[in-house]
Amino acid sequence: MKTYDPKAIEKKWQAFWEDREVYKSDLAAGGKKFYPLIEFPYPSGQGLHVGHPRPYTAMDIVARKRRYEGENVLFTMGWDSFGLPTENYAMKNNIHPKKVTEKNVANFKKQLKSLGFSFDWSREINTTDPSYYKWTQWIFLQMFKHGLAYKTEMPVNWCPSCKVGLANEEVVGGKCERCGTVVVHRRRSQWMLKITEYAERLLEDLDEVDYIEAVKIQQKNWIGKSVGAEIRFRVKDTDESLEVFTTRPDTVFGSTYMVIAPEHPLVERYKERIENYDEVEAYLHEVEKKSDFERTEMSKEKTGVALKGLNGINPATGKEIPIWISDYVLMSYGTGAIMAVPGHDQRDWEFAKKFDLPIVCVVEGGDIENGAYTDNQEGTMTGSDFLDGMKVEEAIPAMIRWLEEKGLGRKQVNYKLRDWVFSRQRYWGEPIPLVHCEECGWVPVPEESLPLELPDVEQYEPTDNGQSPLALVEDWVNTTCPKCNRPAKRETDTMPQWAGSSWYFLRYTDPHNDEAPASKEALDFYMPVDWYNGGMEHTTLHLLYSRFWHKFLYDIGVVPTKEPYKKRTSHGMILGEDGGKMSKSRGNVINPDDIVDAYGADTLRTYEMFIGDFEKAVPWSENGVKGCRRFLERVWNLQDGLLEGDRYRDEVEVLMHQSIEKVSRDYENLKANTAIAQLMTMVNAFQNTGVNKREFSTFLMLLNPVAPHITEELWEICELGGHLCEQDWPTFDPEKTVEDVIEIPVQFNGKVRFKVQTAKDASKEEVFAAVRASESYEKQVEGKEIVKEIYVPGKILNIVVR
């Protein structure tokens, strides 16, 4: 017997499978399709991280199993390769980002191939490939044509270090998600996508999909639906009124002042009338510097300035109330103005305490000395005229009705979700295919001339005035208007990194199509994605953006399903051996290449699955890797002394059926760790009792999705018939998953005294006979009277004695 040498066998089988196109999915073959999807990576300069193979292996296992079960499996890989790190690297080293991308992709591909994933590489895609982004641009143009893309002057989150406008979602805790610099506000003209138009559907249709609960919750929170009312408060001695948004219209009688966002247009408009405008202006300057995050932080000391000379009128009480500006009210939410109800809203309460404003309670039971009474959803209204005595839940619609009758307000639904800032002033992204003409305005580049390719430039740095480096390429910028032929200018902003990943799963179904994003036949057959696994960090943005694009494409008849993904699961992170995040700076990064080199791909794959529960974060362990290698060596050694035999031997028959059942189920539930534990149990049994060819075949099949190379090699060495990759998934007989002999506990007056062994299908009479024949039974009943005997078939016998 040769020793186990992964280096020799892994390359051999990878070449064999590729040669035979074993993993190719063929639309023409039809049958039952299965489309599992993993998030395609950003090919960074660092190469593959050991975190990548965790979800890839888990889904590879399912993909392989389904292929053996006869399904037409579409399992694919590609590159999400536009983006800042590549551009930054290109700038620093003066290499074209295209070159950098090529190099990184080649490295990633080599690494992934060395792990033996069953990808259909003939469908590889790359978001920076013009034949791919042609369709990213085409989809953008369809959105533009349907009024879903618009350009507007927007306060944008600006990262002074990356010199780039960031989407809200790229700002984490007030800082740039990428570089950690504190984000400031700037106004810029930006392309926006109207994702808000889809807010309700993005929320509602979550009911139709099988996403893990944590993912659904994050999607819901991000969309942030609030049901309430918009109410008009007159501004005294003007024709003006202020609209406020509230989720608690029942508390209008308790509103003792108003607060508007410092940026609210009323401030500018009534400049002349505001007696303390100096003070107001100073405050405005102070606020400008803060991010939305800092402004709304709960713990933060409240600040604000009263607008002296301007007062509102509470529409319910008719009383005059002061208007303040404060940074805790955001211009970007609701109407940018609130009715403050310090008796029932904690932020308002803190503000009122600080500035000595009146606080009243309009729901019974509050103790407003120590804070707002917020826990009052079931409470009874008080001090609120016609609402008095009503429960809060009745008072809300009653108040809305009253407001509607008086023309002072109406029911209103708000979403936290904002439109998507779709412009970047950077080079390495898809050019936005629009031309600006003095006469015609924004005109789409004709679809026939897509892709609009990125021109080569000398300089990748964003310009100092914040314009994209493309603005410097004059012969590209200056063009003619596609409509009127007069001189016109191209848009120089590019698309954000999220663009290419918003539809890539459609392209996999038909990656070489030059006429459409994918053919109708391919989309009808493969869509929707049956199972999408990805990181929790992509739950809000990527998932929401791609669902939005998909719904739009559905509306215009391009895709056949409302939702792109039937099912979504998520994996946990792999941490460093020290339990901290794996990162260069901590010096705890494990390179998968080193593991493959030292132990083999099958060991790495097995370890990545055996490391722990799939959804949990787990620390890496070199010892764990070694343990998995030893397991595979024990498997390897089973070839020695293999018994002849084409049926399971009696002593392992139940174990074989049980194992097929358990391993199959575990793989489908992303519990490869417990499946591997079962496979280890099998190896133990084989070491004790030997193993015959039939048993070994089944075992190798079951292990194959985890460790495809060693199993294929053993199959060949042991001459088990053909190649493993051509076999069917083993089946089990449910009858035979149960042991033939079972133990039945016998209780006396509720206490188990002994157990008897019987055949698993023994009748009641047989069980009683076995019990009575036992010596222990004699002892228990001696000198006693049997009152009752209760037998739960196959489980327990309870005897009551006196």
Q: Residue by residue, what is the 3-state secondary structure of 262-295?
A: CCCHHHHHCCCCCCCHHHHHHHHHHHHCCCHHHH
Dist CA 443 CA 107 (whole Å):
40
Residue of 758, 734, 736 lying closest to 654 (CA atoms): 736
Q: For residues 343 and 451, which CB has a smaller minimum distance to ligand ANZ in the complex? A: 343
Binding partner of residue 226 among ligand ANZ, Zn ion, none, CB under 5 to 8 Å per kind? ligand ANZ
Binding partner of residue 483 among Zn ion, ligand ANZ, none, CB under 5 to 8 Å per kind? Zn ion
Our measurement of the distance from residue 776's CA atom to the centroid of its chain's CA atoms, rounded to an integer in Å, reads: 60
Strands (E), 40-101: 72-73, 78-79
Look up tokens 């070489």; give the residue: 512
Binding partner of residue 363 among Zn ion, ligand ANZ, none, CB under 5 to 8 Å per kind? none
Q: How far is the CB of 416 from ligand ANZ (least distance, A)?
A: 7
Q: By CB under 6 A, tell whether 677 contacts ligand ANZ.
A: no
| 528 prior amide bond cis, ω within 30 | yes
Q: Looking at the DSSP assignment, which residues form a beta bridge with residue 235?
A: 312
Q: For residues 217 and 752, which CB has a smaller minimum distance to ligand ANZ in the complex? A: 217
Q: By CB under 6 A, tell whether 329 contacts ligand ANZ.
A: yes
Q: For residues 359 and 495, which CB has a smaller minimum distance to ligand ANZ in the complex? A: 359
Q: How far is the CB of 257 from ligand ANZ (least distance, A)?
A: 11
Dist CA 308 CA 324 (whole Å):
8
Contacts (CB under 6 A) with ligand ANZ, residues 399-418:
414
Specify the length of the chain in residues: 802
* H or E element at residue 505: helix 504-507
Binding partner of residue 761 among ligand ANZ, Zn ion, none, CB under 5 to 8 Å per kind? none
What tokens does 6 get? 């992964």
Cα distances (Å, whole numbers) of residue 17 to 28, 67, 346: 21, 14, 64
Strands (E), 491-576: 531-535, 567-571, 574-575
Cα distances (Å, whole numbers) of residue 437 to 190, 414, 443, 444, 487: 17, 36, 7, 11, 7
Contacts (CB under 5 A) with Zn ion, residues 412-471:
437, 439-440
Q: How far is the CB of 241 from ligand ANZ (least distance, A)?
A: 16
Q: By CB under 6 A, tell whether 774 contacts ligand ANZ.
A: no
Pick one of 127, 136, 190, 251: the residue that binds ligand ANZ (CB under 6 A): 251
Q: 567 and 593 in contact (C-beta within 8 Å)?
A: no
Would you give the binding string for ligand ANZ spanning residues 212-231, x where CB under 6 A is met? Answer: --------------x-----
Residue of 25, 198, 36, 32 lying closest to 568 (CA atoms): 36
Q: 306 and 324 in contact (C-beta within 8 Å)?
A: yes
Q: For residues 481 and 767, which CB has a smaller minimum distance to Zn ion in the complex? A: 481
Q: How far is the CB of 310 from ligand ANZ (least distance, A)?
A: 18
Q: By CB under 6 A, tell whether 380 contacts ligand ANZ.
A: no
Q: By CB under 5 A, tell whether 237 contacts Zn ion.
A: no
Would you give the binding string for ligand ANZ spanning residues 330-369, x where CB under 6 A is met? Answer: x--xx-x-xx-x--xx------------------------
**DSSP letters spanning 387-424:** GTT-BHHHHHHHHHHHHHHHTSEEEEEEES---EE--B
Binding residues: 584
Contacts (CB under 5 A) with Zn ion, residues 34-93:
none
Binding partner of residue 484 among Zn ion, ligand ANZ, none, CB under 5 to 8 Å per kind? Zn ion
Dist CA 529 CA 552 (whole Å):
17
Contacts (CB under 5 A) with Zn ion, residues 239-268:
none
Q: By CB under 5 A, tell whether 484 contacts Zn ion.
A: yes
Pick one of 13, 68, 191, 245: the residue that binds ligand ANZ (CB under 6 A): 245
Pick one of 49, 134, 194, 248: the residue that binds ligand ANZ (CB under 6 A): 248
Binding partner of residue 437 among ligand ANZ, Zn ion, none, CB under 5 to 8 Å per kind? Zn ion
Q: For residues 369 and 640, which CB has a smaller minimum distance to ligand ANZ in the complex? A: 369
Look up tokens 């009696």; give the residue: 650
Dist CA 381 CA 392 (whole Å):
6
Binding partner of residue 139 among Zn ion, ligand ANZ, none, CB under 5 to 8 Å per kind? none
Q: By CB under 6 A, tell whether 116 contacts ligand ANZ.
A: no
Binding residues for ATP: 584
Q: How far is the CB of 419 from ligand ANZ (least distance, A)?
A: 16
Q: By CB under 5 A, tell whether 480 contacts Zn ion.
A: no
Q: For residues 372 and 663, which CB has a smaller minimum distance to ligand ANZ in the complex? A: 372
Burial class (CB in 10 A: 0-12, 13-18, 19+), 489: middle
Q: How far is the CB of 372 from ligand ANZ (least distance, A)?
A: 7
Q: By CB under 5 A, tell whether 482 contacts Zn ion.
A: no
Q: Which residues contact 632 (CB under 8 A, 6 or more apart)?
A: 4, 600, 602, 603, 606, 707, 710
Q: How far is the CB of 330 from ligand ANZ (least distance, A)?
A: 4
Q: Which residues bind ligand ANZ (CB under 6 A)?
A: 226, 245-248, 251, 329-330, 333-334, 336, 338-339, 341, 344-345, 414
Q: Which residues bind Zn ion (CB under 5 A)?
A: 437, 439-440, 481, 483-484
